Amino acid sequence: MADAAATVTDESDAIGGVARDHLKAFVSRIERLEEDKKAVMDDLKEVYAEAKSMGFDTKILRQVIRLRKIDRNERQEAEALLELYLGAVEG
């Protein structure tokens, strides 16, 4: 057991003071961003719940949001291909 404690200390000492400070700063920033991300996800959940309570289909709403992220021309090309493929398998 004493060897394990010594190994941890040795590895910690292997990281220089400046590198250790950078590592701590990165960890702190990541933790703050994770907290922010959780808050945003909670807010989104609330908005979708509100939309659902007003009678909107949240599955379709999510699809609208996803499609609006795509460039209009790319979306039109994808829709045309979708229609082509559907026509081929249904006909």
| pTM metric for this prediction | 0.64
pLDDT at 91 > cutoff 80: no
Domain boundaries of the chain, sorted by first residue: 1-55, 57-91
Cα 23 from Cα 30, distance rounded (Å): 11
From CA 10, how far away is CA 15, in angstroms rounded?
A: 9
Give the chain's radius of gyration (CA, Å): 25
> pLDDT per residue over 42-74, tens digit each?
999 999 999 999 999 999 999 999 999 999 999
